[in-house]
């Protein structure tokens, strides 16, 4: 995965999202939902949830919004029935795309996702049409903006806790785990004083697709359109973004 830093893409995408009014709480709600779904709704035992809740509160997200996101994930939200769905397809130039949604109206969501693909020269496929091109991994980022973290020490701690690999990026370390070891590694690193900048169980493409300038522009527009949909939780793709 060297040369394809997820952290750099996350930072670029989140900075762009945060510049848009009204998107900050939506992003936090999605992060909270994902963390609660993966590790449970108790922040005392779910380090990933505690991390994203703290970030949401730092941005002044109301407690009611936070509680609602957690209840969605744990199925305890009264009077609402949400369904998790996954759409697979191809974007411009044949880029593989997986879209995870949480919706209370699957017909509406399906129409909106289909429209986003069609408008940007993409098309939806059958379930399984592109998912085989991705691997599911635990992903953890340790910020190192001041260069104070000893790489060897962190590597030993991460591997001891069950991590699979660790890579060094500018001002950060990226740690990868098998999904079943993810929570143990997060907990271990947190308990040993490491500040976790981001963490999730997510999908990583096995290969990447480079596009020409026109196709890449359309692909980025497709991603942005999907991100603006309130039902969309996660978007995975294998675009090789140009610098």
Query: What residue ranges do the domains of the chain occupy?
Result: 6-74, 82-242
CATH class label, 6-74: mainly alpha
Distance of CA 168 to the CA centre of its chain: 20
146-198 pLDDT, tens per residue?
888 999 999 999 999 999 999 988 789 999 999 999 999 999 999 999 988 88
Q: What is the pTM of this model?
A: 0.76
Contact partners, residue 27, CB within 8 Å, separation at least 6: 14, 17, 18
| Domain 82-242, CATH number (from 3.30.200.20, 3.30.70.980, 3.40.50.720, 3.40.50.1820) | 3.30.70.980
What is the per-residue pLDDT for 138?
94
53-89 pLDDT, tens per residue?
998 998 888 999 899 889 888 877 766 677 889 999 9
- pLDDT of 9 strictly over 70: no
- pLDDT of 3 strictly over 50: no
- pLDDT of 218 strictly over 90: yes
What is the sign of the dihedral through the CA atoms of 86, 87, 89 and 91? negative
């Amino acid at each position: 995965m060297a040369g394809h830093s997820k952290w750099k893409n996350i930072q670029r995408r989140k900075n762009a999202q945060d510049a848009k009014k009204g998107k900050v709480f939506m992003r936090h709600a999605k992060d909270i939902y994902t963390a609660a779904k993966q590790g449970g709704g108790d922040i005392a035992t779910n380090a990933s949830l505690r991390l994203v809740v703290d970030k949401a509160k730092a941005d002044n997200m109301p407690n009611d919004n936070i509680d609602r996101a957690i209840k969605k994930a744990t199925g305890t939200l009264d009077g609402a029935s949400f369904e998790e769905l996954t759409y697979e397809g191809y974007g411009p130039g044949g880029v593989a795309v997986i879209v995870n949604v949480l919706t209370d109206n699957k017909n509406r969501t399906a129409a909106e996702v289909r429209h986003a693909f069609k408008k940007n020269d993409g098309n939806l496929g059958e379930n399984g049409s592109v998912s085989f091109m991705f691997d599911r991994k635990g992903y953890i980022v340790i910020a190192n903006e001041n260069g104070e973290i000893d790489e060897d020490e962190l590597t030993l701690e991460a591997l001891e806790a069950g991590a699979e690999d660790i890579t060094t990026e500018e001002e950060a370390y990226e740690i990868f785990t098998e999904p079943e070891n993810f929570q143990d590694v997060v907990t271990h690193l947190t308990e040993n004083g490491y500040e976790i900048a981001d963490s999730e169980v997510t999908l990583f493409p096995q290969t990447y697709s480079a596009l020409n300038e026109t196709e890449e522009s359309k692909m980025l527009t497709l991603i942005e359109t999907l991100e603006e949909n309130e039902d969309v939780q996660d978007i995975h793709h294998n675009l090789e973004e140009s610098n």
